[in-house]
Homo-oligomer: A and B are copies of this chain.
């Protein structure tokens, strides 16, 4: 039980001084005021939340945390040189130990900044990672990413690995792990391979995650090669109506593409504004997306292009940038941004039980220290949560009712050791370059 805390409901847009009772994984009771004495006597532990705000944890719907040692390794290069001269040569030297160190660093960073759920799209040592997530207690949607620029047998071998991983881990770790299939992108997966993947996803009833229309060049090349925008191309392949889709980026989507996506089975799009800015890709037309029946959520992308996994920064950017681009301060409101950063994300990642601070929902939430100068006056919480919050204001993180961070101390990860090992492994990779 957490009492004496400001409970924030994003759906109802309310702030109540009250208490939260947790029973196992589930929020048993949310109420205003003081808890009854008899309830206080029954619960195993009572935490005083004085001065704190309680709200849903952040959900990062697109990242590649296996790349976490690449933070700052290269910035400010043109995209092709950045990939070919920097990212790919470094990634080619990653091994099991360095990927593990990268991921642990990311888990520390995510929990400390209030992320309770994330999506990992990567191709290396995913089983190791699923096991680690089982132990650490965070929530994740995992997938073995597939690039199809290779012979059919190799494609099929990747697909077999991706399927096995998905089947082995789907709904494991007390339901904290979900899986998807993940063709990397329309420009890296030939049409037949995309069709094969969606065929398998349909059979397994798994959603599909894919990069989509991230750069102008990629879209132009696609039109040159296939005569179609990637969205029209996917539509022509007949794959959009077969499965639930989660696309990342969507920087180059116009009304005609959004209409097609809206008519698909179900489509979520992960808006990654900071990565799109930093790589010089551009700015997605999110206020246009909002006019369609699409689930808009947020992702950081990897730290190679962000350079953090900080969902507070991502949420603030989503709330700021469209106002400036459209010269209209009324678009993408703070409430929109909060939904994107939390509830829309857990829906996109298919965690239907994670549905906010309400009775019967799974108990995933964070506490924030509201007693700070940059969060005053204390009367405008919804504004402060988006426009003034600092991710380091997060003091406590709970997933399925279990504390993973208390008073800024991680309970299931050894932060000091992880930082040491990350630097050690970084130097090891550099020595192999």
Contacts and interface: CB of A to CB of B under 8 A. Distances in A.
A249 B274 CA distance: 22
Given A109-B374, A329-B79, A329-B82, A324 B281 contact: yes
A397 B23 CA distance: 45
Interface in A122-149: none
Nearest to A332: B76
Contacts of A373: 105-106, 108-109, 112, 415, 418-419, 422
Nearest to A77: B329
A383 interface: yes
A292 interface: no
Interface in A308-356: 308-310, 313, 316-317, 320-321, 323-331, 333-334
Interface residues of A, number: 73
Contact of A374 (B308, B323, B426): B308
A388 B71 contact: yes
A283 interface: yes
A321 B277 contact: yes
Contacts of A187: none
A422 B326 contact: no
Interface string A272-287: 0110111111110000
Complex copy number for this chain: 2
Contacts of A384: 71-72, 307
A423 interface: yes
Nearest to A303: B388
B109 A324 contact: no
Interface in A70-100: 71-73, 75-79, 82
A236 B273 CA distance: 42
Contacts of A388: 71-72, 303, 307-308
A9 interface: no
A82 B329 CA distance: 10
18 contacts: A71-B376, A71-B384, A72-B380, A76-B334, A78-B328, A78-B330, A82-B329, A109-B373, A216-B327, A278-B324, A280-B323, A280-B324, A280-B331, A306-B387, A321-B321, A373-B415, A376-B423, A379-B423
Interface of A: 69, 71-73, 75-79, 82, 105-106, 108-109, 112-113, 216, 273-274, 276-283, 303, 306-310, 313, 316-317, 320-321, 323-331, 333-334, 371-374, 376-380, 383-384, 387-388, 390-393, 415-416, 418-419, 422-423, 426
